[in-house]
Amino acid sequence: MKEELFISGRDIPNIDPFLHIWHWQIPIYLYLGGLAAGILFFAGIFTIMGKEKDMKTTVKWAPFLVPGALIIGLLMLFLDLKHQLFFWQLYTTIRLQSPMSWGAWVLMFITPLSLIWVATYLKEVFPQWSWKFHFLEKMELLAVKNRKGMAWVMITLAVILGIYTGILLSAFNARPLWNNSILGPLFLVSGLSTGAAVIMWMTKSHYERKMMSRIDLVLIIVELFFITHMIMGMLAGSSVQIAAADLFLGGQFTVSFWVFVIILGLVFPAVLEILELAGYKIPVAIPAILILFGGLVFRFIMVEAGQITRYLY
């Protein structure tokens, strides 16, 4: 037999028997961060390519969701803190080795940028809108003239935000499920895919829907490759990593992962998109909702499963 026990009776809340210090707030924050990154990335890239006229929802309307998503995400992050009165300490220093510090600063820059982006399009939604002060009118003109520049900054920050949601987890080398470098790109692609799904759902233009639907299909296939890569990498790793992979291959997360994330969240929407490209009519809400749902469940599973995996005991 092989047995390891705490004989001094350790039972610390949230640490024993399994680590469970991050609860539902963190997966929601990671999800909203990825979603915002996806929408902003597409808004930026189509602006740079000069396709604002063809991709109106992508460039103008979908970004309206982003400030709200980011603020709710930040609120979730704030709620998760246990020493909330000191949250401002995050902004007194940049620690390049701590992904959490990166995230705090990226969010600090991308939230106002997304607000400015949305503000430049406010006049198109509310024609009577007028900035009360003259200097704000001037700033709006300045922003509108520099949209391409803003777009470049926006896609850079969006990619950093998307990758950061994954790197945040992969930096914790004590959690074998998370400690692999594919997690950053995986969460980025997942975020881009959820952003594309939202745009695909919101748009009324047939051309735009087709374009985003094709892009989403490619992103889903890439995401499936990355997930395969992640699991194969873990199975080829040390025994703690194999134990981590086993959580998805027969362990407690097998059903929810394969049914909700892979089949309902990725494969089935991909099949529906392929059918759509082949000419069948599909109500766009269904693949969009499935992709959004799959992304959310994926993050919940990753955060909870990761805390269960460990090196010792």
Partner 1 sequence: MRYAMAIDTRKCVGCSDCVVACQTENHVPFGFCRDWVTETVDGSYPNVELEIRSERCNHCENAPCVRCCPTGASHFVEGGIVLVTRNKCIGCGACIQSCPYDSRYSHPDGYVDKCTFCNHIVSKGGKPACVSVCPTKCMYFGNLDDPNSEVSNALKNRKHKVLAPEAGTNPQIYYLI
Partner 2 sequence: MSEKAKKDYSKTYLNPYFGGVLLGIILILTFYITGRGLGASGAAKSTVVTTIQSVAPKYAEKSHYVSQFISDDNHPMNNWLVFEVIGVFAGAFLSGILYGRLKPKVEHSPRITSRKRLIVALIGGMLFGFGSQIARGCTSGAALSGMAVMSLGGFITMMGIFGSAYLFSWTFKKLWI
Binding site for partner 2 (CB under 8 A): 255, 259, 264, 268, 271-272, 275, 277-283, 286
88 vs 280, which CB is nearer to partner 2?
280
Q: Does 22 help bind partner 1 (rule: CB under 8 A)?
A: yes
Query: What three-state secondary structure class fits 220?
Result: helix
**Shortest Cβ distance from residue 108 to partner 1 (Å)?**
12
Sign of CA dihedral 236, 185, 218, 294: positive
Residue with tokens 């990725």: 266
Distance separating alpha carbons of residues 13 and 10, to the nearest angstrom: 10
Angstrom CA distances, 266 to 153, 189, 273, 294, stand at 30, 12, 11, 7
Q: Does 98 help bind partner 1 (rule: CB under 8 A)?
A: yes
Q: Does 181 help bind partner 1 (rule: CB under 8 A)?
A: no
Binding residues for partner 1 restricted to 77-96, rule: CB under 8 A: 80-87, 89-90, 92-93, 95
Q: Does 311 help bind partner 1 (rule: CB under 8 A)?
A: yes
Q: Does 313 help bind partner 1 (rule: CB under 8 A)?
A: yes
Q: Does 126 help bind partner 1 (rule: CB under 8 A)?
A: no
Distance separating alpha carbons of residues 41 and 32, to the nearest angstrom: 14
**Shortest Cβ distance from residue 298 to partner 2 (Å)?**
17
Instruction: Find, among 301, 279, 276, the residue nearest to 287 by Cα.
Output: 276
Could you tell which of partner 1, partner 2, none binds residue 81, using a CB distance below 5 to 8 A set by kind? partner 1
What the block records as the tokens of 172 is 């914790």
CB 190 within 8 A of CB 225: no
Q: Does 133 help bind partner 1 (rule: CB under 8 A)?
A: no
Could you tell which of partner 2, partner 1, none binds residue 128, using a CB distance below 5 to 8 A set by kind? none
Distance separating alpha carbons of residues 223 and 166, to the nearest angstrom: 13
Residue 282, sorted as left (phi over 0), alpha (psi -120 to 50) or beta, turns out to be: beta
Q: Does 172 help bind partner 1 (rule: CB under 8 A)?
A: yes
Binding mask 186-225 for partner 1 (x = CB under 8 A): ----------------------------------------
104 vs 247, which CB is nearer to partner 1?
104
Q: Does 15 help bind partner 1 (rule: CB under 8 A)?
A: yes
Could you tell which of partner 1, partner 2, none binds residue 174, using a CB distance below 5 to 8 A set by kind? partner 1
- Out of 39, 197, 307, 308, point to the residue binding partner 1 (CB under 8 A): 307
CB 300 within 8 A of CB 236: no
**Shortest Cβ distance from residue 33 to partner 1 (Å)?**
15
**Shortest Cβ distance from residue 250 to partner 2 (Å)?**
15
What the block records as the tokens of 63 is 């970004």
Distance separating alpha carbons of residues 191 and 166, to the nearest angstrom: 10
From 66-74, 170-178, 197-205, 221-229, give the range in contact with partner 1 by CB under 8 A: 170-178
**Shortest Cβ distance from residue 275 to partner 2 (Å)?**
6
Distance separating alpha carbons of residues 69 and 34, to the nearest angstrom: 10
Distance separating alpha carbons of residues 256 and 25, to the nearest angstrom: 19
Angle, in degrees to the nearest 10, between helices 206-235 and 285-308: 20
- Which chain residues interact with partner 1 by CB under 8 A? 1-15, 19, 21-22, 80-87, 89-90, 92-93, 95, 97-101, 104, 171-175, 238, 307, 310-313
